């Protein structure tokens, strides 16, 4: 087995609640994933990343964990997890689990213990409790804001405040506390012993806070995430934790990996998580955030490759996940968005490194922008005072078949936890399978023909991205129709007419050719 499989792997994100529902309760589950593993193997991906499926009150879709060593009954049992791992491995698929170390759920047994204990006790010291400011401690200890809106502090009954960078039901753990560190080392071992191939580390940039918890000094802090370090994110001390984790991962064979969800201000800051004794990969959110613009994309590709080279880590590429609007919609929506998304997957899969796909992008699913208010579940909706509709629009359950009340997501008669738009029958797996013009078949062909080898830019016009991977040329045209020399086409995102020894690449179209 290739010990370094992760360096060019394609990893498919399964958002458990919305992937496949085996028991008809409207929510996706582990047996549902298991039943669809042949689909994933057939798609041609190398691994799955499964979002949290631990026992949880589900205030934040499972990113509020009450017990790190079990499976929520909504999703199945530990035996289902074992069976899923076995089946996946038999099909040659790796499985990466989401681990949530920045915060627990307030339903985790540690939190009621902390609330019941007095200030300064070991029970409280597992979290970040502080006295408030103001004459009577009635003001939060500092000006930090929750990523979901409102203050990042909530007052406990005895007057102390606790920190929660996310929802008030997600208290931040105190990573200065050795007991917390030891607990997570044990949790990693628990799942590694069960056979998982790695972890996606939630809020990997968040566990260590700046000494003295200093004020940021401005409001609207979420907007600063990508431009400057905040005292609660991307602090240097966090890297010490990953050095400990890497030793644990390296003590298992075959290789186990970890990928950081780290929002930082630059590709260089992200690369610090990828030093040889830290984590293996980090999501490339700078790439995800680039617009459909040749210069912008080329700049972020160059920045990324330059940043990962000195630490000898693979670049990663991603366009969508369960926290952002789906890229078909970001790229303009409708026919334009779809055309660009088709070109974008050929660009992304031709770049050197590892690629993350988000479930449903292979079907060309758009963001659902018109979910009724009453079905919204993302805590952002409430915490923003109903000004931010949150992330439910990219979490609508997948359509698998053309018919049925759940379009095959669950058994006929069941109702998915978020309603699927009626026109999603036409986007279902069943509707696209075998249709050579479909997004699904484009993904399948591209995953089969993915180029490899040395990466070299070829200078072309300002709206063209052209590069070679050994003997394969990838051309992405983001401007007016362009003529290139004709040769054998491996995959094209749209029709390219051949005229003599030339080929016409239309606007927003990509093609892989043999040189």
Q: How far is the CB of 100 from ligand NOJ (least distance, A)?
A: 6
CB of 336 closer than 8 Å to CB of 299: no
Active-site hit among 202, 361, 367, 468? 202
How do 47-50 and 10-14 pair as beta strands? parallel
Which residues, in sequence order, are bridge partners of residue 145? 151
Residue nearest to ligand NOJ (CB): 63
Choice between 63 and 245, CB closer to ligand NOJ? 63
SS (H, E, C) 23-80: CCCCCCCHHHHHHCHHHHHHHCCCEEEECCCCCCCCCCCCCCCCCCCCCCCCCCCHHH
Q: How far is the CB of 212 from ligand NOJ (least distance, A)?
A: 24
Active site residue 86: no
Structure tokens at 321: 């996940």
CB of 53 closer than 8 Å to CB of 62: yes
Neighbouring CB atoms inside 10 A of 202's CB total 19
Three-class DSSP category at 5: helix
Choice between 21 and 202, CB closer to ligand NOJ? 202
Choice between 60 and 468, CB closer to ligand NOJ? 60
CA atoms within 13 A on the CB side of 241: 29
* Interatomic CA distance for residues 270 and 259, integer angstroms: 11
> For 504, which DSSP code?
E
Choice between 63 and 455, CB closer to ligand NOJ? 63
Choice between 31 and 390, CB closer to ligand NOJ? 390
* Interatomic CA distance for residues 104 and 293, integer angstroms: 39
* Interatomic CA distance for residues 29 and 48, integer angstroms: 14
For residue 192, what is the enclosing H or E element? helix 178-194
Q: How far is the CB of 166 from ligand NOJ (least distance, A)?
A: 5
Choice between 166 and 512, CB closer to ligand NOJ? 166
Choice between 80 and 261, CB closer to ligand NOJ? 261
What is the CA angle 262-114-178, rounded to 5?
55
User: Of 112, 300, 278, 144, whose CA–CA distance to 204 is shortest?
Assistant: 278
Q: How far is the CB of 313 from ligand NOJ (least distance, A)?
A: 21
Q: How far is the CB of 321 from ligand NOJ (least distance, A)?
A: 7
* Interatomic CA distance for residues 294 and 475, integer angstroms: 11
Choice between 376 and 431, CB closer to ligand NOJ? 376
Residues 6+ apart with CB under 8 A from 382: none
Q: How far is the CB of 268 from ligand NOJ (least distance, A)?
A: 22
Choice between 95 and 301, CB closer to ligand NOJ? 95
Choice between 197 and 378, CB closer to ligand NOJ? 378
CB of 166 closer than 8 Å to CB of 63: yes
Active-site hit among 21, 261, 362, 378? 261
Q: How far is the CB of 395 from ligand NOJ (least distance, A)?
A: 9
Structure tokens at 262: 């780290």
Active site residue 278: no
How do 509-514 and 489-492 pair as beta strands? antiparallel
Q: How far is the CB of 18 from ligand NOJ (least distance, A)?
A: 13
User: Of 495, 460, 454, 500, whose CA–CA distance to 478 is shortest?
Assistant: 460
- What are the residues binding ligand NOJ (CB under 6 A)? 60, 63, 100, 166, 202-203, 261, 322-323
What is the CA angle 445-447-450, rounded to 5?
105
End-to-end distance of the chain based on CA atoms, in angstroms? 31
Q: How far is the CB of 383 from ligand NOJ (least distance, A)?
A: 11
User: Of 279, 143, 150, 275, whose CA–CA distance to 210 is shortest?
Assistant: 143
Q: How far is the CB of 305 from ligand NOJ (least distance, A)?
A: 25
User: Of 369, 368, 371, 429, whose CA–CA distance to 398 is shortest?
Assistant: 429
The catalytic residues are 202, 261
């Amino acid at each position: 087995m290739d010990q370094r499989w992760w360096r060019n792997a394609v990893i498919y994100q399964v958002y458990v609640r919305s992937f496949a529902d085996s028991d008809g309760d409207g929510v996706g589950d582990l047996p549902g994933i298991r039943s669809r593993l042949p689909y994933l193997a057939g798609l041609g991906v190398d691994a799955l990343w499964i979002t949290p499926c631990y026992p949880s009150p589900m205030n934040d879709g499972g990113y509020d964990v009450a017990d790190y060593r079990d499976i929520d009954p909504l999703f199945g049992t530990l035996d289902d997890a074992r069976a899923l791992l076995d089946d996946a491995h038999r099909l040659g698929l790796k499985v990466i689990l989401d681990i949530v170390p920045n915060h627990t759920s307030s339903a985790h047994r540690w939190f009621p213990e902390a609330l019941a204990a007095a200030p300064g006790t070991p029970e409280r010291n597992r979290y970040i409790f502080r006295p408030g400011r103001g004459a009577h401690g009635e003001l939060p200890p500092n000006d930090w804001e929750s990523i979901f809106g409102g203050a990042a502090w909530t007052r406990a009954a005895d007057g102390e405040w606790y920190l929660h960078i996310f929802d008030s039901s997600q208290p931040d753990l105190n990573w200065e506390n050795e007991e917390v560190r030891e607990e997570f080392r044990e949790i990693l071992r628990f799942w590694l012993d069960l056979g998982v191939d790695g972890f996606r580390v939630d809020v990997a940039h968040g566990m260590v806070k700046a000494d003295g918890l200093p004020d940021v000094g401005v409001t609207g802090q979420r907007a600063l995430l990508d431009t400057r370090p905040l005292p609660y994110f991307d602090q240097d001390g966090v890297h010490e934790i990953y050095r400990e984790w890497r030793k644990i991962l390296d003590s298992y064979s075959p290789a186990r990996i970890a990928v950081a969800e780290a929002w930082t201000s630059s590709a260089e800051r992200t690369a610090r998580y990828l030093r040889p004794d830290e984590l293996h990969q980090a999501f490339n959110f700078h790439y995800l955030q680039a617009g459909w613009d040749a210069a912008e994309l080329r700049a972020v590709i160059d920045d990324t490759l330059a940043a990962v080279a000195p630490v000898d880590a693979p670049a990663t590429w991603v366009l969508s996940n369960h926290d952002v609007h789906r890229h078909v919609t970001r790229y303009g929506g409708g026919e334009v968005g779809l055309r660009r998304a088709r070109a974008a997957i050929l660009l992304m899969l031709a770049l050197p490194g590892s690629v993350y796909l988000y479930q449903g992008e292979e079907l060309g699913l758009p963001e659902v922008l018109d979910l009724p208010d009453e079905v919204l579940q993302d805590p952002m909706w409430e915490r923003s005072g109903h000004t931010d509709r949150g992330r439910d629009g990219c979490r609508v359950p997948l359509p698998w078949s053309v018919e049925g009340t759940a379009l095959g997501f669950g058994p006929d008669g069941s109702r998915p936890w978020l309603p699927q738009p009626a026109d999603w029958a036409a986007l279902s797996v069943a509707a696209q399978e075998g249709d050579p013009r479909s997004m699904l078949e484009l993904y399948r062909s591209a995953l089969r023909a993915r180029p490899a080898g040395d990466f070299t830019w070829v200078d072309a016009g300002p709206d063209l991205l052209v590069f070679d991977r050994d003997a394969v040329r990838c051309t992405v045209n983001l401007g007016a129709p362009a003529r290139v020399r004709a040769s054998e086409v491996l995959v094209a995102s749209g029709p390219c007419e051949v005229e003599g020894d030339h080929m016409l690449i239309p606007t927003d179209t990509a093609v892989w050719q043999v040189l």
